[in-house]
Structure formats: C-alpha cells, structure tokens
Chains A and B, each alone.
Chain A
Amino acid sequence: MTSRLRPALLVAGLGVALAGVTVVALGSGAVRIAPGDVVSILLHHAGIGDGGGAGDTSDAVLWSIRLPRVVLGVAVGAGLAVAGAALQGIFRNPLADPQLIGISSGAAAGSAIGVLALESAIGGIAGSIGAFAGGLAAGAAVYSLARHRGRTEVVTLVLAGIAVAAVGGALAGFLSVIADDPRLGSPLFYSLGGLGVATWRLVGLTVPFIAIGVLALPRFARRLDLILLGEREAAHLGVDVEQLRRRVLVLVTIVVGASVAAAGVIGFVGLLVPHAVRLVAGPGHRIVLPASALGGAVLVVAADTVARTVALPLEVPVGLLTALAGGPLFLWLLRRTRSEHGGWG
C-alpha cells in the first residue's frame, strides 16, 4: 500500500514546498520581509486584511518587483519540467530534454530574430513568436533526422540535438553581440538564463502560453504511458503515435518558446526534475507530469532566489545554479536508478 501512497505524498509535499519557497523568495533580497508580512501583504492584495502594517516600501518591492519574478519562475520551472517529462515520454528516451535536443537553443535564436525583426511591428510578443518558430524548427529538424524506417534512433536524436543546440545557441549569442540592441538579452542570458527582467507585463506575455502546455499535456498522460511500452505496442493498443508526437511536440515548443523568450535557456530543469519524480513515484505520467510541474517550479524559484541574493548586489545567472545543484543530484539519481531498476542500458 505504501507504494500507492507515495505519489500522493510526493504531490502534497511538493505543493507545500512550493508555498514555502515562494514565501521565502518573496521575503529575500536587499529589503528583507518577514514571512508573516509576506503573507499579509499577499492577503491584502487579495482583498483580505489591511496588509498588517508591513509598510509601503515592502509592499511595493514585493508586489511590483519580486512577485512577478516569482510568478515567472514558477511558470518557467513548471513549464520546463513538464516539457522535459513529455519529451522523454514521446521519444522513449530518458535523455530527451528541451535543452539537450535543441529546442531551447532554437527558441533562443528564434527569439532574438523575432525581437530584431518584428518587435517594432507587433510588440513584445515578437520574442515569444520567434522563439516558438525557432524551437519548432529545431525540434522538427532533430526529430526528422532521428527517424529512420519508421523508428526513432535514440543516439541520432541526442547527437542531432547536440548539434542543433550548438548552432542555435551560437546564433543567439552572435546576434546578441553584433546587434548590440538593448531589447536583446546578453549572450549569458541566452546560455544560462535569468529572471531579472521579470515585470507584470512580461508575466502577461509569458504565463498564458506556458499555462496552455502545462494544463494540456497531462491530457496525454495515458497515451504517453503506452508509448513507453514501445512505439509498435502503442500503435497496437490504439494510439496514433505520429499524431501524438506532433501534438506533444507543438505543446512543448509553445511552453519552451515562451519560457526561453522570457527567461533565456535555463538548463537541467527538464532533465533533473522528471527523473527525480519517477524515482519516487514511478513512471506513470498521470503523476509524473503534475509532480514535475510542481518540482520544476520549486527548483527554479529556489535557484533564482539564491541567484539574486548569494552575492548581493550582484546577480548570478540562474542556469549556473540549476546546473551546480542539478548536476551532482543527477549523478546521484543515475546511481540510484541503476541500483533500483538496472539502469538505462
């Protein structure tokens, strides 16, 4: 029975962790705000209570600067983790991750091109649209390269992804250096990410797209489970595998495109979080997808809080911290997976 309880406990625990890390994140920074004040300011804005006398400065810092950043962190973290879990599912490949198979870098290049070419015409959404187009082009290129005689070659998928990721990342960095346009991020932003540009306006341009994916992808949970059994087997059981892949890939690209346009390329979230969740709760996507969303949100908000407070007044790129914490954790996960399930082969 304990094995049935573990998924529920995991989701509940991650929910509590997300609430806790959110309160800590909102309170941390140059202006410290006590957890009690954080809660009363939030309640005040929700129309409950009078703000508990936390002060106007605290209120302004929390509401206009930190909260959009935390909301963006929650959305980006949840989005990247769900995207990773879904990609690992459709490709039956534990290595699939938006960054590793090139979607993130394609989106970064697309976002830079979108901003330069379209932002004056269509406004702030240009980056997201460019990121979506770039991510989709990269994902489609990698996927079609890896297809051979009706099979997806796992190693080709990863190798093609590495190449496409290199080209996309280089293109984004190149554009950011030579265009010297303040609307573009720095090369560091495209390679290591950052939530420092978060505003409510950016939240409004980003969160709806991520929400579409995070809410829609769990509808594919059962079919993703069937694909893990094998492409052939899934088809025998009634799944239109190619159609499923196309739909999931489009949703993943919407999520990753929006998140890259807003926060650059934050690595390791899509790889680390779903693997950690599977280790606790098993491979079923009904749990893996929502639990990854929560776990990704916790990871990114926590990493971003450390990123902006560890070396005040400097800010460390958040991707450095997800990699610094995520890398060793992932190695440990690999060992655990090998000892419990015989490894990935």
Chain B
Amino acid sequence: MSAGVTGRGLGFEVEGRALLAGVDVDAAPGEVLGILGPNGAGKTTLLRVLSGEWTPTSGTVELLGRPLAAMSSIERARVRAVLPQHTVLAFAFRCLDVVLMGRYAATSGDDAAVARRSMATTDSGHLADRTYPTLSGGEQTRVSLARVLAQETPVLFLDEPTASLDLRHQELVMRTLRGLADRGAVVVAALHDLNVAARFADRVALLAEGRLHAIGATATVLTGPIVEAVYGQRVTVVPHPVLGSPLILPHDR
C-alpha cells in the first residue's frame, strides 16, 4: 500500500457504457503522474473518480492510505485539491477572494498570506483586485491554480493545467507542480501534450478507450511503438537535444 494515491480496479459506467474499466493506478509522494491518452480515452473520468467527484461503479480509491469513500467533503478538501478543466464564474468576485475560497477547509495558517503567496507563485499577484470574469482564459487558469495551491494539500489533481496557457506560463505552471512534488506532494495531472508530460512527469499512465494501456516510468511508456498504437499516429521519438527527455515528433510518413 502506497501512502499516495491508489486506485484499484476502477470502473465507471454511465447508462451501460463503460467510460473506465479495470484501471489500476498509483502515485507516490514526491511524484508527478501524468495521465495521457487520446480524446475520449477517459483521462478526465479517471481524475474525477480519483478525486472523489464521481463515485466509481467498481473498484476503490485510497488517498494517503485512507479509503476515499469513507471521507467527508471537508476531510477530502484537506487531503486533495482539484483544478478542473475550466471554471465558469458568472458572479464578479475579485480574484483574491476566489483564491481565498481555497482556504475554506483550512484549519490553520494565515489565509491572506497563503493566498497572496499562491498568487505570486502562479504569476497572478497583479490580478488580485481584478474581477474573475474579466480575465482571459489563461489568466483565469492561473488564478484557479492559485486557489488550488492555497488549499495546501498533500495531493493535487489537475485536469489539463496547461491547456489555455502561453509557452512561458505553461513552463511556470509545470515547474510549480514539479516543485510541489519535489517537496513531497503527490501530483496527478491529465495532460494532452505528450512533450509536456515527457519533461515533467516521473511516471505516466496511458489510457485508451477507458482502459489502462500502460503505466510506468515516462521514458519506458512514451516510446514510438506504444504512442503509435494508442494514438494511431506516426511519431518519431528522439532524445530532447538539451534535456535528454523523450521528444515526441508526429509526422505523416
């Protein structure tokens, strides 16, 4: 039993259709686990099941060794934070207030200081007094991420955290997540960009049609044959010229 995130035999069905079947995943403290797979493979479903948003129709989830099903809303919020793909907020809250919402479950610490620090970390401190609905998509993502960081949980689930970000902020966010893991957090992120996963994830889980195709160290899973089999796309995998991590280059010949 790992003390991080453990999912055993996870299945999720909606109206007889299996969005997820027989998935075993685990992520340990200090680790970034990337969840990869083509559109509709079940990345978001798996994240929702692991984070407790959806109750699996089969299988069990444990967070830090405790069964998720037995934890109350507030207990969950003290163990794990979740960044959904997109947060639509029609009401005009100030960004600082949005980030402070991340402190709802917190029992100690200086809420305002934590919120300010989280905003600085995601390069959104200058947005503190702006209202959330007036921000661009990428700015909203960074404020939402600051809210997630303000929760100060040992486990983080993120659904496409880099989706709407420019290159620099994409790097900033991934470095932040990497840093959290290096300080002992468990980071589980659904990622659509294989090269982002290749650089920042210690291990990846590759989903295909709701099933786990492969899980393991990033370099052993992100190989040409496996990526081609799952994505149905010709690729060449070369070592990154500077970093040495795998670099996945799609092509049509």
Binding site for B on A (CB under 8 A): 3, 92, 94, 149, 222-223, 225-226, 228-230, 232-233, 235-240, 278, 282-284, 340-342, 344-345
Query: Complex formed: what's the CA distance from A236 to B145 in Å?
Result: 13
B97 to A, closest residue via Cβ = A284
Interface assignment of B122: CB less than 8 Å from any CB of chain A:
no
In the assembled complex, how far is the CB of residue B91 from the closest CB belonging to chain A, in whole angstroms? 4
- When distances are taken between beta carbons in the complex, the residues of chain B under 8 Å from A228 are 89-91, 93
In the assembled complex, how far is the CB of residue B15 from the closest CB belonging to chain A, in whole angstroms? 9
Query: Complex formed: what's the CA distance from A341 to B94 in Å?
Result: 12
Binding site for A on B (CB under 8 A): 14, 51, 53, 72-74, 76-78, 80-82, 84, 87-94, 97-98, 101-102, 104-105, 129, 131, 133-134, 151
Inter-subunit contact A283/B93 (CB<8 Å) = yes
- Which of A3, A233, A240, A282 is the one whose CB lies under 8 Å from B87? A233
- When distances are taken between beta carbons in the complex, the residues of chain B under 8 Å from A230 are 84, 87-89
Inter-subunit contact B89/A238 (CB<8 Å) = no
Known: A238-B104, A278-B91, A341-B133. A232 touches B151 (CB 8 A): no
Inter-subunit contact B92/A229 (CB<8 Å) = no
- When distances are taken between beta carbons in the complex, the residues of chain B under 8 Å from A222 are 104
In the assembled complex, how far is the CB of residue A62 from the closest CB belonging to chain B, in whole angstroms? 42
Known: A237-B101, A237-B104, A341-B92. A229 touches B77 (CB 8 A): no
- Which of A233, A283, A345 is the one whose CB lies under 8 Å from B92? A283
Query: Complex formed: what's the CA distance from A345 to B73 in Å?
Result: 31
Inter-subunit contact A235/B92 (CB<8 Å) = no
Inter-subunit contact A238/B73 (CB<8 Å) = yes
- When distances are taken between beta carbons in the complex, the residues of chain A under 8 Å from B102 are 237
B84 to A, closest residue via Cβ = A232
- When distances are taken between beta carbons in the complex, the residues of chain B under 8 Å from A341 are 92, 131, 133-134
Query: Complex formed: what's the CA distance from A237 to B84 in Å?
Result: 12
Inter-subunit contact B90/A229 (CB<8 Å) = no
Query: Complex formed: what's the CA distance from A29 to B66 in Å?
Result: 68
Inter-subunit contact B73/A284 (CB<8 Å) = no
Known: A226-B104, A229-B98. A238 touches B90 (CB 8 A): no
- Which of B78, B88, B104 is the one whose CB lies under 8 Å from A239? B104
A241 to B, closest residue via Cβ = B73
Inter-subunit contact B94/A282 (CB<8 Å) = yes
Inter-subunit contact A94/B77 (CB<8 Å) = no
Query: Complex formed: what's the CA distance from A223 to B129 in Å?
Result: 21
> Can you list 7 contacts pairing A with B, beta carbon distance less than 8 Å?
A223-B104, A229-B101, A230-B89, A232-B53, A236-B53, A238-B78, A344-B90
In the assembled complex, how far is the CB of residue B239 from the closest CB belonging to chain A, in whole angstroms? 38
- Which of B77, B81, B133 is the one whose CB lies under 8 Å from A342? B133
Inter-subunit contact B91/A342 (CB<8 Å) = no
- Which of A92, A232, A282 is the one whose CB lies under 8 Å from B93? A282
- When distances are taken between beta carbons in the complex, the residues of chain A under 8 Å from B80 are 236
Query: Complex formed: what's the CA distance from A94 to B102 in Å?
Result: 24
- When distances are taken between beta carbons in the complex, the residues of chain A under 8 Å from B72 are 240
- When distances are taken between beta carbons in the complex, the residues of chain A under 8 Å from B151 are 237
In the assembled complex, how far is the CB of residue A301 from the closest CB belonging to chain B, in whole angstroms? 28
A228 to B, closest residue via Cβ = B91
B14 to A, closest residue via Cβ = A149
Inter-subunit contact B105/A237 (CB<8 Å) = yes
- When distances are taken between beta carbons in the complex, the residues of chain A under 8 Å from B93 are 225, 228-229, 282-284
- When distances are taken between beta carbons in the complex, the residues of chain A under 8 Å from B14 are 149
Query: Complex formed: what's the CA distance from A128 to B189 in Å?
Result: 53
- When distances are taken between beta carbons in the complex, the residues of chain B under 8 Å from A237 are 77, 101-102, 104-105, 151
A88 to B, closest residue via Cβ = B91
- When distances are taken between beta carbons in the complex, the residues of chain A under 8 Å from B134 are 341-342
Query: Complex formed: what's the CA distance from A138 to B72 in Å?
Result: 30
Inter-subunit contact A236/B81 (CB<8 Å) = yes
- Which of A233, A240, A340 is the one whose CB lies under 8 Å from B73? A240
Inter-subunit contact B91/A345 (CB<8 Å) = no
